[in-house]
Chain A
Amino acid sequence: METPYDIGNIPGPKMARVVTPEEFVKQFKKAKKPLLIVGSEISQEELRKRVEKLIDLGITTVATGGSIRYFVEDGYDEKVEVAVLHELTNMLLDENWKGFDGEGNYDFVIFLGITYYLASQMLSALKNFAPHIKTASIERYYHPNADISFKNQFKDEKFFQMVDEIIDKIGEE
């Protein structure tokens, strides 16, 4: 079993299954309406550039208030939604929420670049109270509260390789 990135953060019997980029993409492709949520850690340019590639692949993406400014600077602000993560998670909990496009809630929510402990709690809310949503962490952290998660990755190089693999595989379509 992988160690939660915050070692004491063991929520209970249901903990995320560790996946490879390939397995993640398989799950992603099964989703009808995925949503990518990105947080303040995309201030790191190497990560942000990769997120922008995912945006270019047409994945609906939401930036938290801690990250939107960077997308504005990169000219990507029209392509992303903005939300306070707490508010957004609250909306996601409501099966009848209309979503950003007015056409309904999402069924597969992906976390990337979000402050670890904040993301962990939001994933917990979704795990416990949003049976209509599957969650995935493609963070450099193992997130036990997600349904599927990458394992901890301390080396940037390796982590970026994994994200690149996702971009390539989704792009193959």
Chain B
Amino acid sequence: MKTKFNIEKFESQGISLKNLEIFIGEVIEEEDWEPMGPYPFPSATDLRDWDFKILKRYKPFYAPYDDTCSLCTLGKCDLTGNKKGACGIDLKATQGRIVLLACVVGTSAHVAHARHLYHDIVKRYGKDLPIDLGSEIEVEAPLTRLITGIRPKTVGDFEPVLEYIEEQLVQMADALHTGQEGSYLDFESKALHVGMLDSLGKEVADILQIVAFNFPKGDSDVHLVEMGIGTMSPERPTILVIGHNVPPALDIADYLIENGLEDKVDIAGICCTSLDITRYYPNAKIVAALSHQIKAIRSGLADVIVVDEQCIRADILEQARRVRAPLIATMDKALHGLKDRTNDDVDKIVEDLVSGKVDGVAILDSEKIGEVAVKVALKVHESRKDVKSLPSDEELKELVNKCIHCNRCTLACPQNLKISEANRIAKTGDLSKLRELYESCISCLRCEQVCPVNIPINDVIMKAAMPLIRNEKGKVRAGRGPIKDTEIRNVGAPIVLGTIPGIIAAIGCDNNPRGAKDVWLLVKEFLDRRFIVTVSGCAAINLGLYKDEDGETLYEKYPGEFDAGGLVNVGSCVANAHIHGAAIKVASIFARRKLRGNYDEIADYILNRVGACGVAWGAYSQKAASIATGFNRLGVPAVVGPHGVKYRRAYLGRRDREEDWTLYNARDGSEVRVEPAPEHLLVAAETIEEAIPLVAKLCMRPNDTPQGRQIKLTHYLDLSMKYLKKYPEDWYLFVRNEADLPLARKEELLKRLEDDYGWKIDWKTKRILEGPIRKVDPSFDPTNLERLIRK
């Protein structure tokens, strides 16, 4: 409990004090790095005004995935048509409630991960381990500074940050209980709050692992890593690590290094653990993103499987058993029914796993995991050589011939793949259609469970695609972590003026509608147009799979700098926080806005000035929901793929509603009607061809200079022509005067403005006389916040 006394004026016996603040009960080390803003450690209500401002323009759009609710025993309630349940909640608020639930779950995953790392690192190195990200990074933890007002100097300084997040998370989880929140808008405000906590938790997690494990600290030319199932060697023992929390994998690497076994045993990884282990141990291989989990296991090439947390298949033990690979679970969150052998003798555990006495064990002490995993891999490798995972050519023929074309597999398939048709063609000996399914198949195994003649459909597809799988060999640039302050100094002005047309953040999972190549196409398109492209997680991994006409991956072709045309792999999901961090640093380092406890001002700055747009094309998890919502509260829009509509909620603006598009000019408080930029905060596209111009559009900001707008509008029009073969019907809304028009098309566009939209043009001077929503005003200082108006 702390109590604050304010003494405005005190005079006594020659002593005179003014504006004295005395804190009793807790010593606050008052640092003077920046004056404290209005919202340090904000509660859910502190930033509610900001949330309501954005929710007014970007109204929640709900697409229920279920019209009923069964969360309490008053139900099951039918809410169809926005009816209310027995507790009084309607369908709309129920959707907000589910969104909040997803965000709470997603954030809990990141924050529990951060907390686990914190305990692990404090145990290994103590609380005084300094937070030092090198001489080019002074703003070491932009989200921590912004949200809590703390400038962390040592690992221990993150303790109050984690405590704050955990307390807020419990409060927000509480709001989910029946009989608490009833307004969909308040559910959304809480979801936005939780999204912000998610971003903060991710920052803590990644900074902790960077400083403790000496991961790269923002180096743009960080090493390249081998990737792809094709790089898994049948000749060497392989330990497959799956998940998101790296200490167990680090321990395996340490054991290999300490025992000189780097050339004898491979570490291969799936998902974020693979990205994080390669930040530490460049010899490790990235096998693939999440959708390849089953593919990697069923290849039979993993001798031992080590799982940590998040995105692990719930039936991992059954799958591991199928290929006789011993399983080691390493986190209390995901034990898979295995016996806890943490306190047993290493050799005894090894013996039990090698002999097959047990299929798997749980070991919760990361220092024992390395030794067990490596010893087991070395011992079982030879005996596993006879493991038969995929069907032979002859068996493949028999299997496809068994198909009775009942289509039950297609009804079960989340990708709606036409398996029966592919089998029909395969019966003639042509495997091309089956092979085509490989890219889109996410190996979920739903089909296999319903096939009446027990065809192992995943394996049939894999077998048919073997020529592709063997060639799945690529390169990924290891995760570099934060963006350097020096880089921000170089790009801050061009980003805010619009001459660097945008920062694209291709992030998240790979529940892609038709394979990962789509994301590659989008990233390449924006790199070629000299946007800055940042990537992380499964999206970053999958980019390494594809090569261009010169046989190079994008990581080999484009520099790793945070600059125009740079491809920046920040790292795993938690490293996403550095993308938020970069946007915040633009406000703080370039524009000198105060960060400390000043969330709404910085978010307002980013929304109006920093042309950043997230793309979570294959988002599937609850973490992806909290990540996107965290970006949204900070003023960064995001585009998701068609599966993304299953999250139930979008934040969609309406360009046809003039009243939604006004801002204040902070100089004088006048209200200014502006163009719809950015038009949405969260929107789904059907195909990547639809998404690409949409992303370009969402990079426009009210603050763009004419030169910047001209560049952005050029990309929007070019990309629309390239992918839609047509100009978009809203392009004219973004034209403020003739200087905004792409030079090469100026005359043509002026003519269209006159003919199609009735604008008045002075053809002698080629100037626009009448038509635009507003004129360019160089003194316009756009804001949504009344408190920033300087009368």
List the B residue with the shortest CB-CB distance to A100: B729
A-contact 0/1 string along B689-719, CB 8 Å cutoff: 1110110000000000000000000000000
The residue from B61, B643, B645, B726 contacting A68, defined by CB atoms under 8 A apart: B726
Check B82–A128 contact: CB distance below 8 A: yes
Residues on A with C-beta less than 8 A from B64 are 11, 124-125, 128
Contact A128 B684 (CB under 8 A): no
What are 15 contact pairs spanning A and B, CB under 8 A? Answer: A11-B66, A12-B67, A66-B686, A68-B724, A69-B726, A82-B728, A86-B650, A93-B61, A97-B656, A114-B686, A117-B642, A121-B646, A127-B67, A128-B82, A129-B92
Number of cross-chain contacts by CB at 8 Å:
147
Q: A64 at the A/B interface (Cβ < 8 Å)?
A: yes
A13: interface (CB < 8 Å) = yes
- The residue on B at minimum CB distance from A7 is B411
CB distance from A83 to the nearest CB of B (A): 8
Top 8 closest A-B pairs, CB basis? A65-B690, A12-B67, A66-B687, A121-B63, A72-B725, A121-B645, A118-B642, A125-B63
Which chain A residues lie closer than 8 Å to B694 at the CB level? 65, 84
- Beta-carbon contact of B61 and A90 below 8 Å: yes
B79 to chain A, nearest CB (A): 8
CB neighbours of A125 from chain B (8 A): 61-64
Q: Which residues of B contact A12 (CB under 8 A)?
A: 66-68, 78-80
A116→B418 CA distance, assembly (Å): 13
Determine how close the nearest CB of chain B comes to the CB of A164; give it in whole angstroms. Answer: 22
| With contact pairs A65-B693, A82-B724 given, residues A117 and B646 touching in the complex (Cβ less than 8 Å) | yes
Q: Which of B680, B685, B689, B729 contacts A82 (CB 8 A)?
A: B729
Contact check, A65 vs B683: say whether CB atoms are below 8 A apart: no
Other than the given A64-B687, A77-B725, 8 more pairs (CB < 8 A) read A11-B64, A13-B78, A68-B726, A82-B728, A84-B683, A85-B686, A115-B513, A128-B82
Q: Contact partner of A69 among B80, B643, B648, B725, CB < 8 A?
A: B725
Is B407 at the interface (CB under 8 A from chain A)? yes
> A98 near B: Cβ within 8 Å?
yes
Assess whether B231 is interfacial by the CB under 8 Å rule: no
Any chain B CB within 8 A of the CB of A57?
no
Query: Is the CB–CB distance between B411 and A115 below 8 Å?
Result: no
Q: How far is the CB of A127 from chain B (nearest CB, A)?
A: 7
Most buried by A among B63, B411, B650: B63
Residues of A within 8 A of B650 (CB): 86, 90
Residues on A with C-beta less than 8 A from B283 are none
Inter-chain CA distance A86–B690, complex, in Å, is 12
User: Contacts of A84 on B, CB cut-off 8 Å?
Assistant: 683, 685-686, 690, 694
A152 proximal to B (CB < 8 A): yes
Q: How far is the CA of A97 from the CA of B64 in the complex (A)?
A: 22
Interface residue? A34 (CB, 8 A): no
Given the known interface contacts A84-B694, A86-B650, A118-B684, the answer about A129 and B82 at a Cβ–Cβ threshold of 8 Å is: yes
CA–CA, A11 and B685, complex, Å: 23
Contact of A90 (CB < 8 Å), options: B652, B691, B726: B652
Give how many B residues have a beta carbon under 8 Å from the other chain's beta carbons.
50
In the complex, residue of chain B having the shortest beta-carbon distance to the beta carbon of A9: B65
- Given the complex of chains A and B, what is the CA–CA distance between A12 and B689 in angstroms? 33
Q: Is A122 an interface residue (CB 8 A)?
A: yes
User: Could you tell me the distance between the alpha carbons of A72 and B654 in the complex, rounded to whole angstroms?
Assistant: 26
Q: A66-B686, A72-B726, A117-B645 are in contact. Are A128 and B67 (CB under 8 A)?
A: yes
* Residues in B whose Cβ lies below 8 Å from that of A66: 685-687, 689-690
Interface string of A88-110 (1 = CB under 8 A from B): 01110110011000000000000
> What 1/0 mask marks residues of chain A from 41 to 77 whose CB sits below 8 Å from any chain B CB?
0000000000000000000000011101100110001
**B723 proximal to A (CB < 8 A):** yes
Contacts of B412 in A (CB 8 A): 7
Residue of A nearest to B727 (CB): A82
| With A11-B65, A66-B689: A115-B642 Cβ-Cβ less than 8 Å | yes
Report the minimum CB–CB distance from A19 to chain B (whole Å): 20
What separation, in Å, do the CA atoms of A91 and B694 have in the docked complex?
Answer: 17
A27 at the interface (CB under 8 A from B): no
* CA A44 to CA B307, docked complex, whole Å: 43
Q: Please determine whether A154 and B61 come into contact, CB atoms closer than 8 angstroms.
A: no
Point out the residue from A7, A122, A129 that lies within 8 Å of B645, measured CB to CB: A122
Q: Does B410 contact A (CB under 8 A)?
A: yes
Output the nearest chain B residue to A129 by Cβ-Cβ distance.
B82
Decide: B725 and A68 in contact? CB cutoff 8 A: yes
- Judge whether B416 is part of the interface by a CB distance below 8 angstroms: yes
Q: Of residues 626 to 676 in B, which have CB atoms within 8 Å of A's CB atoms?
A: 642-643, 645-646, 648, 650, 652, 654, 656
B82 and A6 form a contact (CB under 8 A): no
Do the beta carbons of A124 and B63 come within 8 Å of each other? yes
In B376-418, the 8 Å CB interface with A consists of: 407, 410-412, 414, 416
Query: In the complex, which residue of chain B has the Cβ closest to the Cβ of A69?
Result: B725
B429 within 8 A of A: no
State in angstroms the CA–CA spacing of A73 and B689 once bound together.
15
Assembly CA distance A82 to B656 (angstroms): 15
If A154-B407, A154-B420 touch, whether A69 touches B689 (CB-CB below 8 Å) is: yes
B91's closest neighbor in chain A, by CB? A128
Q: In the complex, are the beta carbons of A128 and B66 less than 8 A apart?
A: no
Contact of B778 with A by CB under 8 A: no
Which B residues touch A3, using CB under 8 A? 411
